[in-house]
Homo-oligomer: A and B are copies of this chain.
Amino acid sequence: MIDKGNKMPLYLQLMRLLMEKVEKGLYIEHEQLPSERELCEIYEVSRITVRQALQELERVGIIYKLHGKGTFVAPKKYDQQLDALYSFTEEMKKLGKQPTTKILSFETLPVDDYIRLKMGLSIESEVYKVVRLRLADEEPLMYETTYLPSTLFPNLTKERFEEQSMYDLFQREYEKAVTNATEKFTATLLKEEEATYLEAVSGQAAMSIKRFAYHQNELIEYTMSIARGDKFAYTVELT
């Protein structure tokens, strides 16, 4: 409990007690914490002390506040190491999660200017545009829009996409294993449609990841992924 004779500030003591409860699983992900008034009573401290402790816990990402609703325990994030080429399917399997993919749309289109410039395609190129929702243990985590030059992947169909992971498809049916990739990360807000698919709220924080994937030196894939901001962290080592 809080020790008022201890030289450690009261809000740090309260912060420690609440952190311990989260770490021990006494409070679980998205569980609501007692109100400020209740915390004052439980720990016999002032409102100022409670507010300062909650503010610090929010700052470090252990809790989050919803306006007018209260304070909740923040979920743990998937921590993706950016030390080597990775795939959603393989990463989720490593974590003991069951990865699944829903193909939301599959189209063959004349290339638009943005994609044409990004992918270095000629003006009369066609691309497959595939929109996919990626799930782990049935929880939707990423919303992905992929462009593939149709000349590199002849006769691709939605059905063939549904049977296997995209990178398995590239490798097994076209002998185009992805050998390296460039990824560009930006912070963004979930749009209405993305939020609906991701079972989240529009305006919530999201990570936008643009991947250019290569087979040897040939660009074979351009993907724009939207990952829930509360679900993913990306870690890089710099030397």
Question: Which chain B residue has the least Cβ–Cβ distance from A183?
Answer: B236
Q: Does A34 contact B (CB under 8 A)?
A: no
Tell me the chain A residues, 81-113 only, with Cβ under 8 Å from chain B: 82, 84-86, 110, 112-113
* Any B CB within 8 A of the CB of A239: yes
CB–CB A237/B205 < 8 A: no
Identify A207's interface contact among B85, B186, B203, B235, CB under 8 A: B186
A136 at the interface (CB under 8 A from B): no
Whole-angstrom distance from the CB of A113 to the nearest CB of chain B? 5
A85–B239 Cα distance when bound, in Å, is: 5
Q: Is the CB of A206 within 8 A of B233?
A: no
Assess whether A184 is in contact with B79, with CB atoms less than 8 Å apart.
yes
- CB contact between A229 and one of B188, B234, B238 (< 8 Å): that residue: B188
Of chain B, the residue at the smallest CB distance from A123 is B8
Question: Do the beta carbons of B239 and A180 come within 8 Å of each other?
Answer: yes
Contact A229/B186 with A8-B110, A60-B114, A236-B236 known, Cβ cut-off 8 Å: yes
**Which residues in window 21-36 of A have CB below 8 A to B?**
none
- Using CB atoms, name the residue of chain B closest to A118: B60
Task: Report the separation of the CA atoms of residues A208 and B61 in the bound assembly, to the nearest whole angstrom.
Answer: 11
**How does the 8 Å CB contact mask read for A168-186 relative to B, with 1 for contact and 0 for none?**
0000000000011111111
